Amino acid sequence: MNAPVIWIIFPAALALLLMLTQNKRLLSLSGGAIAALLAVAAQFVPMEEAFRIGSMSIRIESSLSILGRQLIIQPSEGPLLALLYGAAALWFFGAEASQSAPKFVPLGFLINALMIASIAVEPFLYAALFIEMVVLLSIPLVTSLYSPPGKGVTRFLIYQTLAMPFILLSGWLLAGVEASPGNLTLAAQSATVLGLGFAFLLSIFPLYHWMPMLLEEAPPFAAGFLLWILPTATLVFGAGFMDRYSWLRNSPELTVVLRSAGLLMLATGGVWAAFQNHLGRIMAYGVIAETGFALLSLSLDLRLGIPIFFLLFPARALGLTIWSLALNIIKAHVPSLRYSQVRGALRKFPFAVAGMVLASLSTSGLPLLAGFPPRLALWDSLARASSDAALWVGVGALGLFTASFRMLAVTSMSDEYSGWEVGENWLQAIMLGLGVIGLFILGVFPQTVQYFLAALPSMFEHLGH
């Protein structure tokens, strides 16, 4: 038995079977339950060690060879698989509440499996092909058969595809650097090409203008899932490059580039969010700011930065799940998510508006919410390295706070004598309520996830040690 078979090939095959199922509730429950089981197995079932189940002795091998290429899932990567499949389970359980289960759950399983394959494949060049497959599979999630794709979807496809030749070219150049490590010109060229590839993949400023467009056009729940899985897996993939190449990891220029890119993402995302008049666009800028936080954590002393880097992931996954589900519920009942159309929505959709605002405040780092502990740790560490950088983090956080309170103010405005009603069904109310409770648990008791995150830095040979 092989780990890639269990966590890559089996979910991909399951996705094809789930496409034949039309029962929305069965799809959502079975998809969420299987993803949760895969997460539990990844966390607790040992790899490369024999263990017994009854009279059977089982050993899970970490590698699988396919056509001369290898998929390798090391035992130290189990917590990462648990994180990815555990977060995917949240999305799959919420798919029924968002009314998007029929195509979301099968494609979500396939996308999650392919992103894990992009991290596991050797040689790493083939990761670009897996990521491009994910981009192509994402299009049915964010488009409809009854209307042409908008500018946001088109630019998403173009920008993500443009990253592929840069990643492939950088792999060829990096092979030359390994053969002649003293060639500084070749090293500079490979670093530049690699940086351009990741700039497109992570939508680094100014390449992120498609995100707000996408959230205007696409279903928020599906778009939110893509804006969670793609940056998360790409950031881990990028950290793997830093771990692999010592000349890149020890380069002082890399710290400057990561810090500058992170501050640009955070400051521009936060400030521009404060001036938006569309709920979906605000969520897009929140995602942009989240990526900025992650890049800033990688710019720190890696013994501090890598634990913070992984600590950001659970809050991001839970917050985006709640935020996108809330927007999906509101969008189903209004012509548009512009402020003029959602005025007074709090009295009609109290659970959705509460979930949306609290998820937004968590992204901005409000105390007692899930986003606060990692942001506090990041801000404190960054302030020790650069007070100017810490000031710009404050500017970005202030912009996100402003956007959150503007949303609350607009959705609270209503006619004096309008009554309260609950527009959400019982399933939507329960899902949002549980999600909000989770935000407070992660914010007040951040140590609840420390057991699962403590071992994550060990997946890198050099980073965080």
Each residue's pLDDT tens digit, 250-293: 778 888 889 999 999 999 999 999 999 999 999 999 999 999 99
Residue 192 has what pLDDT? 83
Q: Look at residue 182 in the predicted model and tell me its pLDDT.
A: 63
Residues 15-25: tens digit of each pLDDT? 888 888 778 78
> pLDDT digits over 150-201, tens only?
888 889 999 989 888 888 887 777 766 666 666 667 777 777 888 888 889 8
> pLDDT tens across 239-252, in order?
888 877 777 777 78
- The pTM score is 0.91
Residue closest to 294 by CA, chosen among 226, 233, 208, 207 = 233
Joined tokens for residue 270? 């936060």
Q: Which of 67-71, 299-303, 374-378 is modeled with the greatest confidence?
A: 374-378
The average pLDDT across 349-357 equals: 91
Neighbours of 150 (CB within 10 A): 16
Average pLDDT over residues 104-115: 90
**Hey, what amino acid is at 237?**
F
Edge to edge, the sheet with strand 69-72 lists 63-66, 69-72, 121-122
| Residue 29 binned pLDDT confidence (cut-offs 50, 70, 90) | confident
% of the chain surpassing 90 pLDDT: 26
Contacting residues for 67 by C-beta, under 8 A, at least 6 apart: none
The CA distance from 102 to 156, in Å, is 23
Residue 4 has pLDDT above 90, yes or no: no
Rounded distance between C-alpha atoms, residue 296 and residue 267, angstroms:
12
What's the angle, vertex CA 76, arms to CA 73 and CA 79, rounded to 5? 95
> What is residue 52's predicted lDDT score, i.e. its pLDDT?
67
The first and second tokens of residue 441, run together, are 């648990």
Whole-angstrom Cα distance, residue 7 to residue 9? Answer: 6
Question: What's the confidence (pLDDT) of residue 189?
Answer: 78
C-alpha closest to that of 121 among 237, 245, 292: 237
* Residue of 312, 314, 131, 110 lying closest to 238 (CA atoms): 131
Q: What is the mean pLDDT of the chain?
A: 85
Report whether pLDDT(77) > 90: no
The pLDDT score that the predictor gives to residue 181 is 62
The dihedral built from the CA positions of residue 218, 328, 316 and 19, taken in this order, carries a sign that is negative
Q: CA geometry: angle at 460 spanning 250 and 364, to 5°?
A: 85
Strands 50-53 and 56-59: antiparallel
Report the run of H or E that residue 59 belongs to, with start and end. strand 56-59
Instruction: Determine the pLDDT at residue 126.
Output: 81
- Tell me the pLDDT tens digit for each residue of 37-62: 999 888 888 777 766 666 677 777 77
C-alpha–C-alpha distance, residues 286 and 266, integer Å: 9
Task: Check whether 457 has a pLDDT greater than 90.
Answer: no
CB 259 within 8 A of CB 299: yes
Residue 50 identity: A
Query: pLDDT per residue over 301-333, tens digit each?
Result: 878 888 888 899 999 999 999 999 999 999 988
